[in-house]
Structure formats: structure tokens, C-alpha cells
Amino acid sequence: MGVFDELILPNGSSIPNRIAKAAMEENMADGDQAPSEKLMRLYQAWADGGAGLIISGNVMVDSRAMTGPGGVVLEDDSQLEKFQRWARIGRSRGAQFWLQINHPGRQMQANLGQRTWAPSAIALDMGKLSKHFKTPHAMTPEVIDDVIRRFARTARLGERAGFTGVEIHAAHGYLLSQFLSPLTNQRTDEWGGSLANRARLLLEIVEAVRAEVSPQFTVAVKLNSADFQRGGFSAEDAAQVVQLLNGRGVDLVELSGGSYEVPAMQGEARDGRTLAREAYFLEFARDIRKVAQMPVMVTGGIRRLPVAEQVIDSGVDMVGIGTALAIDPYLPRDWRLGKDSAPQLPPITWKNKALASLANMAVVKFQLRKLSLAKATHPEVSPWLALIVQQLANALRTRQYRRWMAQRMR
């Protein structure tokens, strides 16, 4: 198999090549928390760029639970026409287009003014940055049931809008990842304790989503290969969760890693493990592939065609690319034309790892903002400038979101 070969999913649908535009959070919603004109332009660039699969940034299943200000929300049909246009743009060159659907759990900024829920009342540990996040409330059975229904409803609305699938986000320290980790899930009921209980919420959401959408609509899961914290969700746990997902109508599993506390998706770990400079999670993906009955995709650090080919040659089915496609959205097209493109950002080597992680995300979002304005990207931008621009934008979007929520409450 090669990078530009077709992939047939278990549901019978096809992806024209093995390159996916992995999810990156854009924070580009309009005033109604729906897809904006800037977001449309950004996704047109990726559609034109030649990836076989496009996965959206976070689409929230609950307007009260946001990964950040400016996030897109799909919880009812009030803005469905905008989502329909977004779907048409993403699919305009033949790619599949999936919505990544998500709930932040405790990884929600306190200044958004909403009640924070998580499996257990355990606060984020991000040093001085911890103050920006509330200690969450432990979820009640009623809140858990509501979350399950919301994931299913968002998936159903996504299919109505014309997307070809959804990816359920159970990685990067968000709510479903919090349930999976023994560090953040210390419940003693049927939702905690054993791995089978910690995986129960993910499995019930998968089953609820599958029951709400058509058989040909893709249902994928994004899973941490590990969370890279001692005593946390391990590679062995990930393999067992994939085995639990087998036979439940999951069409693909994407492997990544890390959380806000440990941004392994940027090449950082806290458990003593050294991650490769490219294809961070390939080693884990090879092991998962041995037990997975569905295709497996690996995301994290991939920016060169030889590395992408190495991933496919190893038996992994798809290559997810994020940052490199934020710099050059036409990378798949260039590779197909024989160009030796390998876009990358200069490394940020600040001593404060949490701040460096925020700066790295800000630099990526700086590129996305350029693309959304139909301008050339600027990978050499100062991390401090990108961070300042991002913080100013977040402040404006936070006020916009709080006004929007206040109007809805009235």
C-alpha cells in the first residue's frame, strides 16, 4: 500500500488517499458559534490541497462546555445551513469530511463562566496556569446521560448537514479521556475503577451515535496511545480499549497522545519517555494495529513524505497531519507532484513547558488565521507575538461567547 492508495472503511465508504488533515482547534466560530466565513475559506484551502480525509477542529456537543472561546457548537438545527455549506466546501474536491465532536470536561477555561464537569473533582495541574481552570464537579448520572444523548444528537445533525462521518474525541485530556485515565477518574460507581468501567462512557457514546446515524456514515474514535503520566492511561490500556471497540461499528481509530498537562501531541512527555522527532506515536500504533479490527490512523509530528510512507509501510492505514498542513495546506498535492516539501515550525525551547505549549498552539493558530484570510502563512513568526495575538483574540471571543450565552439564557 502507498500513501496515495484508496482506503475502504468497514462501512464500505472509501477515502481517496491515506493522508488526513488532522483536527486542529481553530476558534473561528461566528457570533452564533457556527462556522464563519473565515472558517469556510480555511477549509477550502485544505479541500483544494489534496488530503483524502479532512477532520474538523473541535465541534462542541454542548454550548455550555467549550474547549475554548470561538468554538463551533452543533447542538440543534438552528444554524444547520451554515454547517451544510461547510460540509460542501470540505467535500468539494472529493475528500471525506468528518466532524470531530467533543466535550472538554475539566479542560474548560474558568473565564467562560460555565459550570465545569468531570468524572471526579480533580483540578488540572499546570503550575501557575492552573488558576485559569476551575476545580470540576463530579458528574452525576443525569449529567452523564445528557452527555451521551448530546454526542448522538450532534452526530445525527452532522449527517443531516452532509458530513460523511464524525470522530468522537477521547484523547488529549478532554472528557472521555478523563474517564479513561485512573488519574482523573477516581469514581467508585459503574463509571470508574476497572478499565472496563472507565471505558463505559466512550462505549455507550459509540453505541448511541451508531444507533442515530446510517450504516454508511463513518463513526471514528480518537484515542490516546498513552497520556504519558506515571500511573495514567497506558499503552496497554489503549490496546484493551481498542479491543472493546472491536465489533461496535467503529470505522477507524486515530491514535494520538497527551493532554493540557502533558502535551505529548507536541513531542513532550512527563513519564520519562522520549518521543520521536516525527511520527511520535508510530511505535504505539504498530502495537494497536495487531489487535484492531478497524483501520488505524496515527497523528503527531509527521511532515515529510518518507515518514508518511514509513507509517503506511509499517501496516498503519492512515497518516494524520496537523501542523504541517497549517503551514502548507497544499502539501498532499505537492507530494503527489514530486515536490520534496517538509514544512515545520521553529522549536520553542522555553523553560516553562506549559507556556511553551500555549505558544506552540498560538503559532499554529497564527498560520490558520493567515489561511482564513487567504494570505500566505508565516512559520517564522515570533512565538511571543503569536501568543499575544492569540490572547487578545481569546479575550474578544470570550466576551462574545459570554454575551451569546447570556442572551440564550434570557
Percent of the chain, pLDDT > 90? Answer: 82
Note the pLDDT of residue 354: 78
pLDDT tens digits, 122-146:
999 878 888 889 999 999 999 999 9
342-401 residue pLDDT tens? 999 999 989 887 788 889 999 999 999 999 999 999 999 999 999 999 999 999 999 999
Binning pLDDT at 50, 70 and 90, where does residue 279 land?
low
CA distance 396 to 69: 9
Quote the cell numbers at residue 112: 467562560
Alpha helices by DSSP H, listed for 8-105, are 37-49, 80-90
SS3 of residue 100 by DSSP: strand
* Residue 263: band (very low, low, confident or very high) from pLDDT cuts 50, 70, 90: low
- Return the pLDDT at 234: 87
* CA 344 – CA 186 distance, rounded (Å): 39
Top pLDDT among 256 and 394 is at 394
Q: Which domains does the chain have, with CATH numbers?
A: 7-342 (3.20.20.70)
pTM, two decimal places: 0.94
Cβ atoms within 10 Å, residue 113: 12
Cα 318–322–327 angle (5° rounding)?
Answer: 130
DSSP assignment letter at 28: -
Spatial distance between the Cα atoms of 174 and 290, rounded to a whole number of angstroms: 26
